[in-house]
């Protein structure tokens, strides 16, 4: 059970700890402390709303309001549009929407911010072999089987219904694939996987409607049943709670993410029929046997469509904070003291017209190798390195090969049918 948010924020008030040697201890005087935070703080020159620099409370209120309305990412984007690529969103937190932030922040020496990540973070090497490109070759029949099933179900539905909820069907498929690969092969290994329990979960549990909560509880029960079934077959090596919690996180991270990109991309395609036709043509030109993972990997337009989908609909729209390590560090050319929390706004960056020509439009050709080579193309100056949907560095996504394989196969088979 996590301690209340207020306790955790108080315990980790890094700025006051780090500066207590050079400043009078004013922690007992909230007003003085707020005044210091705005005017005599190493971040006092960092752009951002003044009120948010006084206290973390406005950030928390704005965050919860944004979550409830489903516009938290757009709220942060508005802050970046107003204040620029570097914004102070709390007394001790700065957020970045600048391509250099990926490599400046996501380094091994920048630890994950414990306020967002409960428990010891860290990639468990035992997980990695499950998701290599090599392992994926052996798993291809499973992927083909579930994607064929999806197409079959959609065909049947198309004959009966006028509208199909494609987002739900993408979710069923990626959930089934992950379930088969994860629970069928390495359940006990996953038990020791990296766990993260973001603050967002704690906040959400307080404000989600009962119907959604029930849905979540059913999902948990489904996970627990699956794990229990698997454990009945194997010798138990880890506490059941740990395994259940880990699988709950992994099934969301390993299925909803991929389904989100797919549904977002499909939405753009049906609203951009000219681009859909180019994609369909590219797929129809393949032999039936061409719908294999290795062939799809090299299809230029299919891959461009998905990269554009990942740019506009990143399922992880911002990267949760890391901490500036001891001794301080430069981030995007600005020196920051130790303990400051730093995060990256992927969504704001991807849609910024300083980095992308026609930034808010769906233009897959911006990713085509032949377009990149034409210096006169308006897309040749796009900052493509700004799009890192799977993150970079030591904690980047280990499921990215699987995600790419699922996305290519589902889109190609849908385009063919």
Which spans of this chain sit near ligand HEM (rule: CB under 6 A)? 123, 178, 194, 250, 253-254, 257-258, 261, 315-316, 319-320, 389-391, 395-399, 402-403
Q: Which is nearer to ligand HEM, 55 or 396 (CB)?
A: 396
Complex with ligand HEM: residue 33 or 115, whichever CB lies closer: 115
Q: Taking the complex as a whole, how short is the minimal distance between the CB of residue 319 and ligand HEM, in angstroms?
A: 5
Residue 137 structure tokens: 């070759």
Comparing CB distances to ligand HEM, the nearer of 177 and 371 is 177
End-to-end Cα spacing for the chain: 48
Instruction: Give the nearest distance from C-beta 150 to ligand HEM in angstroms.
Output: 16
Nearest CA to 293 out of 185, 402, 181, 367 is that of: 402
Q: Which residue has the tokens 């390495």?
A: 186
Q: Which is nearer to ligand HEM, 72 or 398 (CB)?
A: 398
Comparing every residue's Cβ against ligand HEM, the nearest one is 399
Cβ closest to ligand HEM, residue 54 vs residue 117: 117
Q: How far is the CB of 193 from ligand HEM (least distance, A)?
A: 6
Q: Exposed/middle/buried for 87, CB within 10 Å: 0-12, 13-18, 19+?
A: buried
Assigned token pair, 283: 């797929």
Q: Sheet holding 341-344: strands in order across? A: 86-90, 93-96, 341-344, 319-323
CA atoms within 13 A on the CB side of 263: 18
Nearer to ligand HEM, 33 or 191 (CB): 191
The string of DSSP codes covering 90-132 is ETTEEEE-STTHHHHHSSTTS-B-TTTS-S-----TTTGGGGS
Q: What are phi and psi for residue 95, nearest 5 degrees? A: -115, 145
3-state secondary structure of 88: strand
Q: Rounded to the nearest whole angstrom, what is the least distance from the CB of residue 305 to ligand HEM in the complex? A: 14
Distances (CA, A) of 146 to 177, 291, 409: 7, 14, 10
Query: Contact, 187 vs 240, CB < 8 A?
Result: no
Residue 96 · residue 85 · CB < 8 Å: yes
CB-wise, 74 or 400, nearer to ligand HEM? 400
Residue with Cβ nearer ligand HEM (202 or 316): 316
In the block, tokens 């489904």 appear at 222
Report in angstroms how near the CB of residue 158 gets to ligand HEM at its nearest: 26
Of residues 313 and 363, the one with the C-beta less far from ligand HEM: 313
CB-CB neighbours of 20 under 10 Å: 12
Taken in order 167, 406, 344, 304, the sign of the CA dihedral is: negative
Residue among 197, 195, 205, 249 nearest 64 (CA): 205
Distance separating alpha carbons of residues 199 and 231, to the nearest angstrom: 30
Which residues make beta-bridge pairs with 323?
A: 341
């Amino acid at each position: 059970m996590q301690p209340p948010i207020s306790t955790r924020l108080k315990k980790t008030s890094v700025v006051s700890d780090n500066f207590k040697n050079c400043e009078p201890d004013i922690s007992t005087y909230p007003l003085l402390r707020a005044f210091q935070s705005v005017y005599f703080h190493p971040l006092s020159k960092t752009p951002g709303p003044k009120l948010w620099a006084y206290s973390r409370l406005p950030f928390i209120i704005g965050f919860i309001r944004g979550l409830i309305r489903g516009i938290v990412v757009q709220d942060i984007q508005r802050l970046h549009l107003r204040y620029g690529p570097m914004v102070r969103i709390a007394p001790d937190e700065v957020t970045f929407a600048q391509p250099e932030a990926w490599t400046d922040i996501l380094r091994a020496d920048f630890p994950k911010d414990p306020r967002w990540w409960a428990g010891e973070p860290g990639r468990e090497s035992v997980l990695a072999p499950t998701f290599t490109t090599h392992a994926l070759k052996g798993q291809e029949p499973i992927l083909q089987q579930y994607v064929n099933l999806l197409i079959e179900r959609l065909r049947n539905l198309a004959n009966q219904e006028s509208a199909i909820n494609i987002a739900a069907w993408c979710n069923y498929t990626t959930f089934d694939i992950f379930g088969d690969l994860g629970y069928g092969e390495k359940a006990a290994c996953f038990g020791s996987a990296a766990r993260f329990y973001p603050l967002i979960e704690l906040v959400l549990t307080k404000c989600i409607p009962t119907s959604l909560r029930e849905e979540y509880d059913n999902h948990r029960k489904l996970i627990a049943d699956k794990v229990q079934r698997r454990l009945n077959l194997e010798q138990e090596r880890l506490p059941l709670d740990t395994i259940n919690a880990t699988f709950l996180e992994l099934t969301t991270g390993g299925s909803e993410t991929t389904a989100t990109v797919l549904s977002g991309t499909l939405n753009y395609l049906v609203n951009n029929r000219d681009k859909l036709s180019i994609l369909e043509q590219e797929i129809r030109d393949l032999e039936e046997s061409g719908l294999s993972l290795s062939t799809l990997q090299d299809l230029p337009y299919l891959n461009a469509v998905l990269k554009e989908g990942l740019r506009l609909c990143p399922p992880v729209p911002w990267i949760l904070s890391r901490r500036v390590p001891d001794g301080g560090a430069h981030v995007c050319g600005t020196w920051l003291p130790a303990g400051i929390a730093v995060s990256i706004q992927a969504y704001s960056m991807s849609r910024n017209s300083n980095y992308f020509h026609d930034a808010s439009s769906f233009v897959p050709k911006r990713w085509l190798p032949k377009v990149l080579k034409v210096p006169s193309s308006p897309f040749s100056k796009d900052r493509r390195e700004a799009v890192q949907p799977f993150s970079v560095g030591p904690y980047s996504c280990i499921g990215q090969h699987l995600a790419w394989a699922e996305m290519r196969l589902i889109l190609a088979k849908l385009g063919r049918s």
